[in-house]
A and B are shown apart, each in its own frame.
Chain A
Amino acid sequence: MEFTRIYIFVLYAVVIFASIVFFLNNNYIIASLLVVGNVLPGYKLAISLREKNENRL
């Protein structure tokens, strides 16, 4: 489970990094698609992670 949490945070980092890199390379469409496509599932997953942590406290 701890591995999964770390893996999820790495995924967040990769998505943010990739979006910024494409944006800085003037590939605005790809950067926008990466943000738009990941923002909803990323947000839902963050909520899921937070709820899980609250239950643990």
Chain B
Amino acid sequence: MIDQAIYRRFNHTAAACFVLYFLFPEKILGLDRIYLVFTFWFGVLLIEYFRLNKVFVLDGMRDYESSRIAGFVWFATGTCFILIFYEIGVFPEIFAISTIIMASYADPVIGEINSRYGEKLSLIGGLVTSFVIYQLLIGVLFYSLIGSIVAVIIEKPKFRWLDDDLLLQIFPITAMTLCYLSGFGPDITDVGGIR
């Protein structure tokens, strides 16, 4: 058996590659690329439906996920939510890119530090990770602080029917976008965005 914990971590960090989407052409086979998001999401839901019905077994699942929605579904849902709202013009591109990468890395970092050094250090580790990613990509201290603080706050509470993989994406990007659109936050310099 491969190490299930490491397998889960790698799946999580590899999810940062979802940002490849932003390099796709606007139209794919004559269709808007947003349909790709819906297709992908439908595919993930289909896989999860078969997994929950024991049609097949997936590696890397936690024990409690045998009878409830798995983390990868929540993560994919959060990413698809971001991409859809980006496509309809709600979320700025750099917020979407940075949040997808942040969520891919911050959650495993928090989990890994939590298991080795405890909760307090895991919060600091999550805060530093998310702040550095936001700062590198957005380049505005205000949004880096807002995004990273919201991410760490929302990561901690545990809900039975909601997963932090989803919340870790939706809440930080919504908070940053609200600040940006309301004029409360500064302009975006977009230092690390797609050019």
Contact = CB atoms under 8 A, between A and B. Distances in A.
Given A37-B13, A41-B9, A41-B10, A25 B194 contact: yes
A52 B1 contact: yes
Interface string B7-44: 10111111011011001000000000000000000000
Contacts of B3: 44-45, 48
B17 A15 contact: yes
A48 B7 contact: yes
Size category of the binding interface on chain B = 20 to 34
B10 A30 contact: no
Chain A facing B: main interface SS: helix
Contacts of B104: 37
Contacts of B10: 8, 11, 38, 41-42, 44-45
A27 B97 CA distance: 12
A11 to B, nearest CB: 5
Interface of B: 1-3, 6-7, 9-14, 16-17, 19-20, 23, 59-60, 97, 101, 104-105, 108, 133, 136-137, 191-195
Given A11-B14, A15-B14, 18 more contacts: A4-B2, A4-B60, A8-B10, A15-B17, A18-B19, A21-B23, A25-B23, A27-B195, A34-B16, A34-B17, A37-B104, A38-B16, A41-B12, A44-B6, A44-B9, A44-B10, A45-B6, A49-B2
